[in-house]
Chain A
Amino acid sequence: MERRKALKALVSAAAALPLLRVRLGAQELSADHVFLLRDVAATVLPSALGRAGQDEAVDAFLRWARNYKEGVPLSHGYGHPRLARSGPSPAGGYPGQIEALRQAAQSRGGRFGALPLETRRALLDDAFRAAGVRNLPGRPDGTHVVADLMAHYFRSSAASDLCYNARIGRHTYRAIQVTTFRPRPLA
């Protein structure tokens, strides 16, 4: 029994550890990069997620980037169909963008997450404007890693539920009858 408890604790601790290194196609994010992305997530994602939820959102985003496939036919649409293929992995610019953000934070006094909120806002604002980010992309598109992280979360079914404080469950399995009622609140 004790042994099982210890093993469970060990597994749980391992799951909570930050990722060491992440391979994203041809790119690799170092442990420092992942740490910084998690640090930024605490600023750009809702606090309701808690630290663990924010880390999970980063992990989900990195999984998304890792599983991205280049040159795959995209939905060709209806009405005015056209053949388009997925472009280069958005992750190509991520290491450089994260590194630039780290250096910018250092020049303002240290770790991104330890800076005053308005300084963090100014850093991201500068980075987004330099990259040409105008709004949240429909899907991560590589313009800037932080905007991509935000888009990946805020355009999710879970974020929609959080916004409406309702168990809508867009695009998930739902019994038909469940959808005939006003969605229940999250909490």
Chain B
Amino acid sequence: MPVHETDICVIGGGITAVMCVEKIAEINPRLRITVVEAGRSIFDRENRGEYRRRALDYGEHPWHDDFIEDQQAKGMISMTMAVGGQALHWGGACNRFSREDLRLKSMYGLADDWPLEWGELERWYVDAERRLNVAGDPSPYPDDERSAPYPQAAMPLSFNLQVLKAWAEQSGLRFSPLPMARNLAPFGGRGACGMYDTCGDVCPTGARYSPDYTYQQLVAAKRVTLHDRTLVRKLVLDPSRDTIAAAQGVHQDRPGEVMDYRAKVFVLASGQCWSPHLLLLSANSRFPNGLANRSGLVGRYMNGHKFISAMAAIDAETFPGQNMTHSLISREYFRCAPGQPFVRHDTRVWESSFGKEPRLRDEGGRLLLGDELLNEWRGRARKGSSVRLRTYYDSHPAADSRLTLDPASKNRYGDPMPAIEHRLDAAAEAREAATLAHCTGVFERMVRAGNGRLLAPPTVSDYWDHPGGGCRMGASPSTSVVDSFGRAHDHENLFVIGAPTTPTGGVTNGTLTFVALSLRSATAIAS
């Protein structure tokens, strides 16, 4: 059996892994770090413009072979498995959670508190924002105080978003540009934003932060050894202690050869799906329910947030296509006054071309040709604007919001694949109708104030976005899997970092929080 020895073995190669590795290498450059990633490296940046063009023209996936067909999970929201992970094609939204997210139990008697103080998390937010080069403006809400400014001023609002901000603020809510990990000027070996507006698919300049750049830089500087296309199938315990002795993996080209990764510290950075999955797969006679699972909580409290969407029509004129991947955010409802019915959510506004697309026939069904089609299109498109509205709302998970091993679905090695089923806890379930009514009320308030109308009743999502959980952090080994640094209660040399450790999913995009937590974990891992 080939053996690879290292100081720190990181399993998983997404954005939290690379941020953690970068930080560890800064703290202690002498440490040997190896990252093992199941997916492949997609480093052919020179082709990214062409891949983008074909994605636009043909709908082709711009990240070739960024998935492993037999390594998929039920209930997972993305198929991507590659060096860089899902952050290869994220939008770059970098909004912070709020103090309330960490104190849900003590402030509202709901869900659980996080085992760290807001001030502690806040300073790691600052570090995360610096590394991701986030462009943002200070929030207009005083409770969103910051200890340091954003590294860049906010993305300038497009003409459309300026119009929509003026429209939306008539409601009394205050909106800001959503903070984004996009370079306004070249930074970190990446280019400046050229407003190609395909950030969520592929950014041809690298302006939107993408982990592949950092991996390449770390590999080139010999700060990390990267083993891609290698699936870790099992963590192996030391025979005499409860520490992890090895991670056993298989390279895609050598399926019959098990690779033994031996390290002082193991870092599980495989996201909310594959981290608990590996722990469950690694069950043995001493840990029959899976490693790090004396509490029985591995794979439980899978979180994220549901969302409510609506489309509105307004009188103001906009020009769809200026910057459809940027949005406005109001943090008005990040806080809920104690004693009031509990509801927390962000409020987001985007430009939209909904209902403004060309049509082949007029309302009477007559076929439109040439100038007729253009004129009918103009008549609709230039009469007011469409606006996309959305709220991410607090969706507290039940203990049986779970990831389990699905015996009916196995990969080529015979490992059962994960199945995720999200469930609200009883209190969250009980307030679902009230939450929908509240968010509908917010949207109605906005359209009433701005002389608009909702085009249809708002709808609730059928999946949870920005998923996390499965290895939640806490002070007590009986009610959590890891401590606030991600160290497993059951194994002193095993860390789980990022999304899986979150007890609850917050009410806005999660990536910045996952990165901040990982940077904090890095300090404990490096020491």
Q: Chain A residues in contact with chain B, CB under 8 A?
A: 42-48, 64, 67-69, 72-76, 78-83, 86, 117, 120-121, 124-125, 128, 133-136, 139, 147, 150, 154-155, 157, 159-160, 162-164, 166, 168-183
Bound together, the chains give a CA A76 to CA B358 distance in angstroms of: 26
Among B69, B162, B320, B373, the most chain A Cβ lie within 10 Å of the Cβ of: B373
Would you give the 0/1 interface string for B374-387, flagging 1 where the beta carbon is closer than 8 Å to chain A?
Answer: 10011001100000
B82 at the interface (CB under 8 A from A): no
Among B157, B320, B367, the most chain A Cβ lie within 10 Å of the Cβ of: B367
A-B contact pairs, 20 of them (CB 8 A): A44-B369, A46-B370, A69-B58, A75-B55, A81-B76, A117-B369, A136-B359, A136-B360, A154-B377, A157-B321, A159-B374, A160-B320, A163-B382, A168-B321, A170-B197, A171-B198, A176-B156, A179-B158, A180-B158, A180-B162
Name the segment of B188-196, B251-259, B404-412 touching the other chain.
B188-196
Chain A residues closer than 8 Å to B370, beta-carbon distance? 42-47
B238 at the interface (CB under 8 A from A): no
Partner of A168, one of B55, B69, B322: B322
Bound together, the chains give a CA A173 to CA B461 distance in angstroms of: 33
B343 at the interface (CB under 8 A from A): no
Q: In the complex, what's the smallest C-beta–C-beta distance from B10 to chain A, in angstroms?
A: 25
Chain A residues closer than 8 Å to B156, beta-carbon distance? 176-177, 179-180
B155 at the interface (CB under 8 A from A): yes
Bound together, the chains give a CA A74 to CA B77 distance in angstroms of: 16
Q: In the complex, what's the smallest C-beta–C-beta distance from B111 to chain A, in angstroms?
A: 24
Chain B residues closer than 8 Å to A117, beta-carbon distance? 369
Tell me the nearest residue of chain A to B356, going by C-beta: A163
B319 at the interface (CB under 8 A from A): yes
Tell me the nearest residue of chain B to A126, going by C-beta: B367
Name the segment of B1-9, B59-67, B215-223, B268-276 touching the other chain.
B59-67
Judge whether A73 and B360 touch: CB under 8 Å: no
Judge whether B79 and A160 touch: CB under 8 Å: no
CB under 8 Å from chain A, chain B span 195-209: 195-198, 201
Chain B residues closer than 8 Å to A164, beta-carbon distance? 319, 378, 381-382
B363 at the interface (CB under 8 A from A): no
Chain A residues closer than 8 Å to B44, beta-carbon distance? none
Partner of B358, one of A69, A136, A139: A136
Tell me the nearest residue of chain A to B198, going by C-beta: A171
Q: In the complex, what's the smallest C-beta–C-beta distance from B508 to chain A, in angstroms?
A: 17
Judge whether B60 and A80 touch: CB under 8 Å: no
Q: In the complex, what's the smallest C-beta–C-beta distance from A111 to chain B, in angstroms?
A: 16
Chain A residues closer than 8 Å to B76, beta-carbon distance? 81
Judge whether A75 and B60 touch: CB under 8 Å: yes
Would you give the 0/1 interface string for B334-373, flagging 1 where the beta carbon is closer than 8 Å to chain A?
Answer: 0000000000000000000000011111000001011101
Judge whether B321 and A69 touch: CB under 8 Å: no
Judge whether A43 and B369 touch: CB under 8 Å: yes
Tell me the nearest residue of chain B to A152, going by C-beta: B57
Judge whether B58 and A68 touch: CB under 8 Å: yes
Q: In the complex, what's the smallest C-beta–C-beta distance from B182 to chain A, in angstroms?
A: 9
Chain A residues closer than 8 Å to B77, beta-carbon distance? 78-81
Judge whether B195 and A76 touch: CB under 8 Å: no
Chain A residues closer than 8 Å to B323, beta-carbon distance? 179
Using known A-B contacts A170-B321, A171-B197, determine if residue A124 contacts B358 with beta carbons closer than 8 Å.
no
Query: How many of B's residues come within 8 Å of A, CB to CB?
Result: 55
Bound together, the chains give a CA A179 to CA B351 distance in angstroms of: 13
B312 at the interface (CB under 8 A from A): no
Judge whether A160 and B57 touch: CB under 8 Å: no
Judge whether B159 and A181 touch: CB under 8 Å: yes
Judge whether A168 and B319 touch: CB under 8 Å: yes
Chain B residues closer than 8 Å to A46, beta-carbon distance? 370-371, 373-374
Judge whether A183 and B322 touch: CB under 8 Å: yes
B463 at the interface (CB under 8 A from A): yes
Judge whether A135 and B159 touch: CB under 8 Å: no
Q: In the complex, what's the smallest C-beta–C-beta distance from B283 to chain A, in angstroms?
A: 28
Among B323, B370, B378, the most chain A Cβ lie within 10 Å of the Cβ of: B370
Bound together, the chains give a CA A180 to CA B374 distance in angstroms of: 26
Using known A-B contacts A83-B69, A174-B195, determine if residue A150 contacts B373 with beta carbons closer than 8 Å.
yes
Judge whether A172 and B78 touch: CB under 8 Å: no
Q: In the complex, what's the smallest C-beta–C-beta distance from B419 to chain A, in angstroms?
A: 14
Would you give the 0/1 interface string for B61-101, flagging 1 where the beta carbon is closer than 8 Å to chain A?
Answer: 11011010100000011111000000000000000000000
Tell me the nearest residue of chain A to B465, going by C-beta: A79
Bound together, the chains give a CA A173 to CA B49 distance in angstroms of: 11
Can you add 19 more A-B contacts, CB < 8 Å, to A81-B78, A172-B196? Answer: A43-B369, A44-B369, A44-B370, A45-B370, A46-B371, A47-B370, A72-B58, A74-B59, A75-B201, A76-B79, A79-B461, A121-B367, A150-B360, A155-B358, A163-B358, A166-B319, A173-B196, A179-B323, A180-B158
Partner of B193, one of A125, A155, A176: A176
Would you give the 0/1 interface string for B308-328, flagging 1 where the beta carbon is closer than 8 Å to chain A?
Answer: 000000000001111100000
Partner of A159, one of B184, B198, B358, B462: B358
Would you give the 0/1 interface string for B33-73, flagging 1 where the beta carbon is closer than 8 Å to chain A?
Answer: 00000000000000000000001111111101101010000
Chain B residues closer than 8 Å to A174, beta-carbon distance? 194-195
Using known A-B contacts A83-B79, A154-B358, determine if residue A176 contacts B367 with beta carbons closer than 8 Å.
no
